[in-house]
Amino acid sequence: MNRLRCLTFCLALLVSSTSLAKAQNDFKLPNPSFTGKISIEAAMTKKKSVRHFANDPLTLEQVSQLLWAANGALPVDAISGATIKTLPSAGGIYPLEIFLLTGDKSVKGLPAGIFHYNSLSNSLLRIFAEDVRMSLAQAALSQLWMASAPVTIVIGAVFGKSTAKYGARGIQYTFMESGASNQNLYLQAEALGLRMGTVGAFEENAVSSAMKMPAGITPMLLVPVGK
């Protein structure tokens, strides 16, 4: 009987520590806001690329809002019945995947690491538990200013999703869609009173390796964001 109790206790401990480990890498984000403090025209006018950031952390609300702008889900039927994302996408295929890179204490409520953004559940899954921002900057032709940003958002893409339907033209569509995501980020950053840069000058394999990019996803643009 004692043995049975011990076994039950150990099993319960195992289950709870497994769900704890899972929970520690799973981060629910605050709901995005659908209204902002400045007009779209003001955001377009003020938008600029910066290459220096204050050493101030971002809030989880700011991060959530940025990720939503980059590739967020919308309630189905929100506008026309067809729109389900903050971006347009050729054939409604949505080949983009968004990642967030953080340092220690660079976002209140998030540890350091590499996170994959799940737009449907509005959550982050940590896929690597170390700060790789400096390695990423080195992989981007040593644009070391990038590492001063509290977070970097990486726009990645699964080309195969679009080329499966459109052949070689799907490659061009995917680049176009990355640009739309990048522009959304510029406008959202302005609306939040944040600053950002865009980095497209990098060696693809070096970036993939620095940020432990899951197989099948190509890095398209790197977007350091801060204050």
Ligand X SMILES: Cc1cc2nc3c(=O)[nH]c(=O)nc-3n(C[C@H](O)[C@H](O)[C@H](O)COP(=O)(O)O)c2cc1C
- Contacts of ligand X in 133-172 (CB under 6 A): 143
Q: Which is nearer to ligand X, 76 or 201 (CB)?
A: 201
Instruction: Determine, following the binding rule CB under 6 A, whether residue 46 of this chain makes contact with ligand X.
Output: no
> Pick from 48, 52, 105, 169: which binds ligand X (CB under 6 A)?
48
**Smallest Cα–Cα separation from 129: which of 105, 112, 104?**
112
The helix or strand, by DSSP H or E, that contains position 207, with its residue range, turns out to be helix 204-210
Distance between CA atoms of residues 74 and 120, nearest Å: 9
**Smallest Cα–Cα separation from 97: which of 59, 65, 125, 132?**
125
Instruction: Determine, following the binding rule CB under 6 A, whether residue 200 of this chain makes contact with ligand X.
Output: yes
Instruction: Determine, following the binding rule CB under 6 A, whether residue 201 of this chain makes contact with ligand X.
Output: yes
> Pick from 101, 149, 180, 199: which binds ligand X (CB under 6 A)?
199
Tell me the number of residues near ligand X by CB under 6 A.
9
- Nearest distance in Å: CB 179, ligand X: 7
Q: What is the DSSP letter of 75?
A: -
> Pick from 26, 30, 38, 51: which binds ligand X (CB under 6 A)?
51
**Which residues have CB under 8 Å from 214's CB, separation 6+?**
116, 127
- Nearest distance in Å: CB 48, ligand X: 4
